[in-house]
A and B are shown apart, each in its own frame.
Chain A
Amino acid sequence: MTLPSNPTDFTLADARAAVSSKKISSRELTGAFVKAVEAARPLNAFVTETPDRALEMAAASDARIAKGDIRPLEGLPLAIKDLFCTKGVRTTAGSNILSNFVPPYESTVSQNLWDAGAVMLGKTNMDEFAMGSSNETSNFGPVTSPWRARASNAKMVPGGSSGGSAASVAANLCLAATGTDTGGSIRQPAAVTGTVGIKPTYGRCSRWGIVAFASSLDQAGPMTRTVRDAAILLKAMASVDPKDSTSVDMPVPDYEAGLEAGVKGLRIGIPKEYRVDGAPPEIDALWSQGAEWLRAQGAEIVEVSLPHTKYALPTYYIVAPAEASSNLARYDGVRYGHRAKDARDITDLYEKSRGEGFGSEVKRRILIGTYVLSSGYYDAYYLRAQKLRTLIARDFTQAFQKCDVLLTPATPGPAFAIGEKTADPVSMYLNDVFTVTVNLAGLPGLSVPAGLTAGGLPLGLQLIGKAFDEATVLRVGRAVETAANFTAKPERWWRAA
């Protein structure tokens, strides 16, 4: 194996091999990433950097490696989305209301990573409470994508809500990062930053200790530079957790094992409803190219139908705000979080603390959620949306009788400029048109970088699998990755500043 000369260019798999065989110490590797994170501050990808903790954790890993006691992610530096509670390290969820919150406990997913030997570089920026598709709703300012369109200096969004994680992975500020995905928040930013992201089946990763947005949709997953790295990190993140009653009692398979098995004999479904009006022709072309790549490797391509696809986004924008309005009721200015000064009485304290603590997108969703759950409107909106959700899930069940995995575009277009879509909420929501169906049905979805637009911006393809069949999704993703041979990297313009 030949390793890149710069350790920050390592994949997670490269670094695992190099660290465990003592070609590089974890301290040296971690030190290189700490410097990269500092040099990339113009991207605003991190809300909190934890260099001291990183170097301490790296030293502890080096001591274990010296003794031959090596765990699966020993000494490997990662970035953690600021939605995962980290004990003793501020966790903001991108919100003013949690801007001083220091959890006294650790999320199960991040604990699993530390138990596997990983090193924490810091907490990544994100849309407030994961509500956004461009990382522009963060209380800590937008993240700037490392990618720029050809011959342009315009600042582009990295997608969202896991925009800081996506930007960090794309800019080689960490080996890999964690994300969460409620309607596309891993896969959409991965697609527009040329990185890999998988949202596993609902219940695969514990939600315990992850700041809740919409509990029937939220799932954690890895964001990486390669499909193999996603397989490695997903295995480490996933677990059966008694602290989350929706965590599923199924052993976590070794996702790496079958990665190179190829797609020969697999049936790949192409859902015809994923062709949307007004999408750039590049999206359709890439999608056809993806099908051709898989056909050439021995897969059978079958057309399938998911007839309720067009109703997925509006269904989501009833269900998710409804759950959010309930989940976010806990921020009351009493037990933790921002508290308004000079409140007249307890109700005034709640209203002012929440009014000052939440940003405008979060307020909008709390109000929509409260409205659709309110007396007289529940049946017309919420109950109808839950029925639509049944129909959307049924579409997938029927499609999977004809195929093993679905291939779709990951996003309706490439990254856009910061500020371009903030004026109209609905036009922002449309960025998740291809990803949101998967959350509503609880299925695993993977975004793989597949090409560049004529303007030089990344595009991804999405693979959707049957419940708990992440292994096949990753295997097909590996086949797409091999054929696409996506090697483009953003220029490191932020270092010149």
Chain B
Amino acid sequence: MSVDKDTVRRIAKLARLALEEERVEPMVQELNGILNWVEQLKEVNVDGVAPLTSVVEQRLKMRDDVVTDGNVADALMVNAPGGEDHFFIVPKVVE
């Protein structure tokens, strides 16, 4: 399988990634280079093989459903590029 310019534009949109028009064609080449290289995985018969979901055999840990942290709104706002009081500022979303 290989990608074309429209596919690259579509996945860039899905990834919310602005891609300058002059970067689209080089990106097509680069992604196809990688995709052609991973094609070799098709040689392997994976019938009946379960996908690996965890490398270490361990049951997912559970803990009591209680609040262990919080009241850190000031700290959370420190790095906000647009913030006022305890609110993140964004462009208007709903007309």
Q: Are A368 and B51 in contact (CB under 8 A)?
A: no
Q: What distance in Å separates the Cβ of B22 from its nearest Cβ neighbour in chain A?
A: 13
**B66 within 8 A of partner (CB):** no
9-residue interface stretch from A64-72, A173-181, A189-197, A350-358: A350-358
Write out, one digit per residue, whether chain A residues 323-366 have a CB within 8 A of any chain B CB (1) or not (0): 00100010011111111000111111111101110100001101
Q: Are B55 and A441 in contact (CB under 8 A)?
A: yes
Q: Known contacts A345-B92, A390-B52: does B33 contact A370 (CB below 8 Å)? A: no
Q: Known contacts A242-B63, A337-B79, A386-B52: does B46 contact A391 (CB below 8 Å)? A: yes
Given the complex of chains A and B, what is the CA–CA distance between A101 and B76 in angstroms?
A: 12
Complex contacts, B1 vs chain A, CB 8 Å:
377, 380
How many residues of chain B are within 8 Å of chain A by beta carbon?
52
Complex contacts, B54 vs chain A, CB 8 Å:
216
Q: Are B34 and A426 in contact (CB under 8 A)?
A: yes
Write out, one digit per residue, whether chain B residues 35-75 have a CB within 8 A of any chain A CB (1) or not (0): 10110111010100111111110101101000000001001
Q: What distance in Å separates the Cβ of B62 from its nearest Cβ neighbour in chain A?
A: 9
Q: Are B37 and A367 in contact (CB under 8 A)?
A: no
Q: Are A346 and B56 in contact (CB under 8 A)?
A: no
**A381 within 8 A of partner (CB):** yes
Given the complex of chains A and B, what is the CA–CA distance between A385 and B81 in angstroms?
A: 38
CB-CB contacts below 8 Å: A309-327 with B: 310-311, 314-315, 317-318, 325
Q: Are B49 and A387 in contact (CB under 8 A)?
A: yes
Complex contacts, A452 vs chain B, CB 8 Å:
none
Given the complex of chains A and B, what is the CA–CA distance between A167 and B75 in angstroms?
A: 34
B19, B34, B53: the one contacting A425 at CB < 8 Å is B34
Write out, one digit per residue, whether chain A residues 242-282 have a CB within 8 A of any chain B CB (1) or not (0): 10011011000000000000000000000000000000000
Q: Are A318 and B38 in contact (CB under 8 A)?
A: yes
Q: Are A389 and B31 in contact (CB under 8 A)?
A: no
**A384 within 8 A of partner (CB):** yes
Total A-B Cβ pairs within 8 A: 163
Main secondary structure of the interface of A (DSSP, over half): helix
Write out, one digit per residue, whether chain B residues 2-29 have a CB within 8 A of any chain A CB (1) or not (0): 0100011001111111111000000100
Q: Are A104 and B75 in contact (CB under 8 A)?
A: yes
Complex contacts, A10 vs chain B, CB 8 Å:
none
Q: Known contacts A346-B91, A366-B17, A390-B50: does B37 contact A426 (CB below 8 Å)? A: yes
CB-CB contacts below 8 Å: A374-399 with B: 374, 377, 380-381, 383-391, 393
Q: Are B12 and A367 in contact (CB under 8 A)?
A: yes
**A486 within 8 A of partner (CB):** no
Q: Known contacts A203-B58, A314-B40, A354-B18: does B52 contact A393 (CB below 8 Å)? A: yes
Q: What distance in Å separates the Cβ of A213 from its nearest Cβ neighbour in chain B?
A: 16
Complex contacts, B19 vs chain A, CB 8 Å:
355, 363
B7, B52, B58, B60: the one contacting A389 at CB < 8 Å is B52
Given the complex of chains A and B, what is the CA–CA distance between A335 and B14 in angstroms?
A: 20
Q: Known contacts A104-B72, A354-B17, A363-B19: does B51 contact A314 (CB below 8 Å)? A: no
Closest to A216 in B: B55
B33, B42, B72: the one contacting A426 at CB < 8 Å is B33
Q: Are A381 and B38 in contact (CB under 8 A)?
A: yes
CB-CB contacts below 8 Å: A283-315 with B: 308, 310-311, 314-315
B18, B27, B52: the one contacting A367 at CB < 8 Å is B27
Q: Are B80 and A363 in contact (CB under 8 A)?
A: no
Closest to A345 in B: B91
Q: Are A347 and B16 in contact (CB under 8 A)?
A: yes
**A442 within 8 A of partner (CB):** yes
Given the complex of chains A and B, what is the CA–CA distance between A441 and B56 in angstroms?
A: 8
**A188 within 8 A of partner (CB):** no
Closest to A424 in B: B33
Given the complex of chains A and B, what is the CA–CA distance between A352 and B16 in angstroms?
A: 8
Complex contacts, A216 vs chain B, CB 8 Å:
54-55
Q: Are B56 and A202 in contact (CB under 8 A)?
A: yes
A242, A317, A352: the one contacting B38 at CB < 8 Å is A317
Q: Are A390 and B15 in contact (CB under 8 A)?
A: no
Complex contacts, A338 vs chain B, CB 8 Å:
81
Given the complex of chains A and B, what is the CA–CA distance between A385 and B35 in angstroms?
A: 13
A367, A425, A440: the one contacting B15 at CB < 8 Å is A367
Q: Known contacts A348-B91, A389-B51, A393-B55: does B33 contact A325 (CB below 8 Å)? A: no
* A–B Cβ pairs within 8 angstroms, 26 of them: A104-B79, A105-B75, A203-B58, A245-B61, A246-B58, A248-B56, A315-B41, A318-B41, A335-B79, A335-B88, A336-B80, A336-B81, A337-B79, A346-B91, A355-B19, A364-B27, A364-B30, A367-B11, A370-B11, A370-B15, A371-B11, A371-B35, A384-B42, A386-B52, A388-B41, A388-B46
Add 8 more A-B contacts to A367-B8, A391-B49 (CB < 8 A): A102-B78, A248-B56, A314-B41, A337-B81, A346-B90, A385-B41, A390-B49, A425-B34
